[in-house]
Amino acid sequence: MLNKVYENQIYILNKIKNFYKKNYFSSAYFCSYSNNLGFHIMNYWINKKNIKNFFYFFLKEIYSLLNMSDYVLESNYLINQSYKRIFLTWGNDKNIISKENKYYDKYFDIDNSDKFNLWIVIFKGKKRFNNENVILIKKKKLSFFRKLYNFFEFIFIQLKKKQISLHNLTSENFFSYKINQILNKILKDNYSSKNIFIPFEAQPFQNELVENIKINFKEKKIVGYIHSFPSFSPNLIKKKYSPDILISNSKNQIDFFCKYLDWNKNKLYYLPSLRFKKNSINIRKKKIYLPINFSSVSDICSKTEYLASIYNLKEFEVINHPEAYYSKQHNKLINNINNIINNKKYNKVNEIDFSIFIGSTSSIIESLSNGVKVIHLMENPVFEIYSEEIWTNIKVHHITKQIVKYVLLDENIINLVEKNALDQYLNID
């Protein structure tokens, strides 16, 4: 069972590497843990029956392109200030500390107090915030005719580049086009800064930014911080234009990058996590954690029903993903799971020492590293399982083909410390 999953993973990685050998597109995004075009292409490679899902998603992407917004700067930052480094990150209202007029970043676990750091934040909140070393990039609503103009402008640019392909015609790549117009101007204004730190996921806008810097700003060094621990990450395959350095907090992850993703070990740094801390209380027992994306409410409920026939889940609480509070699909799933748990007649009380995780989520590693056992309920094991071949510090026990229990073989699967270790990141040569 595990061998077949592993064979499919290797097959996918080889297909992607061959794709990059034939044509390099910074827009290509083969991500296994988000609903994107690359995800549907990979699904088609291993299961030709998914062709309908692929074309349906592509049509939705074309529709999304016709409804995209613009993006604008909101800042009073000082042009040509002698910033030593730039941080490019994401944020929302929760990151703004209004009383202190500060921005706090969850990925690097620091605020903007150091005035030698310039923060560029792709901001999804509504709060207004002005600070001399923080730039917010916000979405701007447009009229229908302006959206239509943007759509045809985007198509024209792709034709001019001679890069029209399925990979270009996505909402992610329109976003990349708009964001990099803004980022390019900021980079020109702040030529003195040498290092650029990015919570790196190889998203199209990040890939395009790296390509631009490698070609036009060669004196700058790009440091990518791998801030999470997805089970399978083909999006991070080493490309023609990749960050100069990658930082990871997991030796398993670094071994995977070297063995399967073509990274040179000299370009990889193993450092303590900034985002997660030792003895974290974020993950607890007797919870059911939902992912940001999933396919089928009925399929997940069917698997939950099976687990409820084995374990007493009466005291379990369903925890929604923080980015999906207003998702109708997520709230429907929460209600259905609660109905299953509450309506089940349990004959015995089990001693419960685990939590249940659904779908793709790197919180599984955070949970295991903090002593909470895990049952993983999957929709697509090829993209979701923490296989023993990649994650050598994890033992997998199958309950069914798509439900597994993990046993941690080494508690130091993540490099966790109690204090912020950013100085180690900033001192990389």
In this model, does residue 149 exceed pLDDT 80? yes
Q: Mind listing the pLDDT tens digit for each residue in 191-241? A: 677 899 999 999 999 999 999 999 988 888 999 999 999 999 999 999 999
Which 8-state DSSP code applies to residue 289?
E
- Strands (DSSP E) contained in 124-194 are 134-140
Neighbouring residues of 206: CB distance < 8 A, sequence distance ≥ 6 = 198, 200, 224
Q: Tell whether the torsion through CA atoms of 263, 264, 267 and 271 is positive or negative.
A: positive
**pLDDT-derived band at 137, boundaries 50, 70, 90:** very high
Structure tokens at 413: 């699967």
Asked whether residue 269 is assigned to any structural domain, the reply reads: yes
Residue 217: count other Cβ atoms within 10 Å of its Cβ: 17
Rounded CA-CA distance 15/45 in Å is 9
Q: Mind listing the pLDDT tens digit for each residue in 120-130? A: 999 988 888 88
Domain boundaries, position 59: 2-69+141-275
Q: Mind listing the pLDDT tens digit for each residue in 1-44? A: 568 899 999 999 999 999 988 877 777 899 999 888 889 889 98
Q: Mind listing the pLDDT tens digit for each residue in 153-171? A: 888 877 777 666 777 778 8
The H or E element containing residue 361 is none
Q: Mind listing the pLDDT tens digit for each residue in 272-319? A: 999 887 766 677 889 999 999 898 999 999 999 999 988 989 889 999
Rounded CA-CA distance 186/369 in Å is 39
What was the pLDDT predicted at 333?
A: 95
Q: How many domains does the chain have?
A: 3
Q: What is the mean pLDDT of residues 248-269?
A: 96
Looking at the fold, whether 147 and 88 belong to one and the same domain comes out as no
Looking at the fold, whether 162 and 259 belong to one and the same domain comes out as yes
What was the pLDDT predicted at 83?
A: 87
Looking at the fold, whether 37 and 148 belong to one and the same domain comes out as yes
- Strands 268-270 and 221-225, by their bridges, are unpaired
Residue 41: alpha-carbon gap to chain centroid: 18
Q: Which amino acid is at 353?
A: D
Rounded CA-CA distance 265/268 in Å is 5
Neighbouring residues of 291: CB distance < 8 A, sequence distance ≥ 6 = 33, 321, 357, 358, 359, 360, 361
Asked whether residue 157 is assigned to any structural domain, the reply reads: yes
Looking at the fold, whether 384 and 349 belong to one and the same domain comes out as yes
Q: Tell whether the torsion through CA atoms of 265, 266, 270 and 274 is positive or negative.
A: negative
Rounded CA-CA distance 169/424 in Å is 40
Asked whether residue 424 is assigned to any structural domain, the reply reads: no
Rounded CA-CA distance 175/29 in Å is 13
Asked whether residue 216 is assigned to any structural domain, the reply reads: yes
Q: Which of 222, 242, 275 is the last residue of a domain?
A: 275
